[in-house]
Amino acid sequence: MSDSRRLRIAVQKSGRLSKDSIELLKAIGIKLNIRDRLLIAHSTNEDIDLLRVRDDDIPGLVMDGVVDMGFIGENELEEKMLERAAAGKPAEYEVLRRMDYGGCRLSIAVPNEMAYDGVNTLQNKKVATTYPYLLERYFKEQNVNAKAVMLTGSVEVAPRAGVADAICDLVSTGATLEANGLVEKDVIFRSKAVLIKRAGDFTDEKAQLIDRLVPRIDGVMQAKESKYIMLHAPKARLEEVKDLLPGAENPTVLPLAGAEDTVAIHVVSPENLFWETMEKLKDLGCRSILVMPIEKMMG
């Protein structure tokens, strides 16, 4: 059984957010033994239990204080917040960090053949969606009198099935819409995964654990975007080389044994180096240009 002294974190059991959320927890040093059928996973090195649930349940679990934290898409979080607020239920939470995964948008899409001239075209029409509160909020803002029809899945087939005239669903590449003969029209919400924390007091132990984990998350996210760049550059072109390197205000410049007119440059870049930049560096006479991933960062 789970122990209330242990920090409880909810993650999606299987779906778009599962892999990245688990990978992040592992990257910040939490050892987890996840077996497919087990819905609770106990960390072996930290006082942490993982609850593996459907993503729809995560906002409620956090807002009811059943779990301490959860990884959830902003779309689902905002929808549940509106739903609970409408039902008079507590809907408090704190966003600890916005993650770099789970990026998608909630969009209105219509059948290819529909003549669409803005959202007013949907006046008195039915729109199938899993996010009725977000959609109705948008209709209200746009002064459109349309009806949101709730479907929990396979929303894209609704127009062909005669259930609705249009849909409002999550889009990333657009492949699902295209495969179903639909065209994206209005983006109503942009979303990424977030790490949220319940409201209310925490024991000192839990508060300290959270304070230790969150900077590690920052470290992992920062490291993912950053690169360690090493290259040999002609001394005479040093300033031009520095101008090309992102974040190279104070690079490490080292002499090269046996090559008076060449130096080695090392720099931690906050972003990746584009091929175009590497080509320009080469044109300046740089050689042995290496771009390496960074695993962790701190300080």
Ligand X SMILES: O=P(O)(O)OC[C@H]1O[C@H](OP(=O)(O)OP(=O)(O)O)[C@H](O)[C@@H]1O
Residues that bind ligand ATP in the complex, under the rule CB under 6 A = 12, 15-17, 54-56, 73, 75-76, 102-104, 170, 172, 191
**Strands 227-234 and 259-269, bridge-based pairing:** antiparallel
Q: Residue with CB nearest ligand ATP?
A: 73
Residue 206 carries which side chain, given as an amino acid letter? K
* Residue 175, binding choice from ligand X, Mg ion, ligand ATP, none, Cβ under 5 to 8 Å by partner class: ligand X
Among positions 38-77, residues that touch ligand X (CB under 6 A) are: none
What kind and span of H or E run contains 147?
Answer: strand 147-150
Query: Does residue 181 bind ligand X (CB under 6 A)?
Result: no
Q: Which of 149, 158, 169, 244 binds ligand X (CB under 6 A)?
A: 169
The label of the residue with tokens 């209105």 reads 108
Structure tokens at 46: 């930290």
Q: Which part of the chain contacts Mg ion (CB under 5 A), choosing from 56-64, 92-100, 113-121, 246-254? A: 56-64
Shortest separation between residue 89's beta carbon and ligand X, angstroms = 25
- Cα–Cα distance for residue pair 76/90, rounded to 1 Å: 16
Shortest separation between residue 18's beta carbon and Mg ion, angstroms = 11
- Please say which residue, 134 or 223, places its beta carbon nearer to ligand X: 134
- Please say which residue, 53 or 286, places its beta carbon nearer to ligand ATP: 53
- Cα–Cα distance for residue pair 63/82, rounded to 1 Å: 12
Q: Which of 55, 57, 78, 165 binds Mg ion (CB under 5 A)?
A: 55
- Please say which residue, 16 or 147, places its beta carbon nearer to ligand X: 16
State the maximum Cα–Cα separation within the chain, in Å, rounded to a whole number. 79
Give the HSE-up count for residue 231: Cα atoms under 13 Å, Cβ half-sphere: 30
Query: Does residue 258 bind ligand X (CB under 6 A)?
Result: no
- Please say which residue, 88 or 153, places its beta carbon nearer to ligand X: 153
- Cα–Cα distance for residue pair 72/90, rounded to 1 Å: 18
Binding characters for ligand X, 6-25, by CB under 6 A (x = yes): ----------x---------
Q: Which part of the chain contacts ligand X (CB under 6 A), choosing from 174-182, 206-214, 263-271, 280-288? A: 174-182
> Residue 295, Cα to own-chain centre: how many angstroms?
19
- Cα–Cα distance for residue pair 170/102, rounded to 1 Å: 11
Q: By rule CB under 5 A, what count of residues binds Mg ion?
A: 2
Query: Does residue 56 bind Mg ion (CB under 5 A)?
Result: yes
* Coil/strand/helix, residue 274: coil
The label of the residue with tokens 């008079």 reads 88
- Cα–Cα distance for residue pair 94/198, rounded to 1 Å: 6
Residue 50 carries which side chain, given as an amino acid letter? L
- Please say which residue, 55 or 79, places its beta carbon nearer to Mg ion: 55
Q: Which part of the chain contacts ligand X (CB under 6 A), choosing from 6-14, 131-139, 163-171, 191-199? A: 163-171
Q: Which of 7, 58, 72, 171 binds ligand X (CB under 6 A)?
A: 171
Give the HSE-up count for residue 221: Cα atoms under 13 Å, Cβ half-sphere: 15
Integer Rg of the chain from CA: 25
Shortest separation between residue 36's beta carbon and ligand X, angstroms = 17
Question: Footprint of ligand X on this chain (CB under 6 A)?
Answer: 16, 153, 169-176
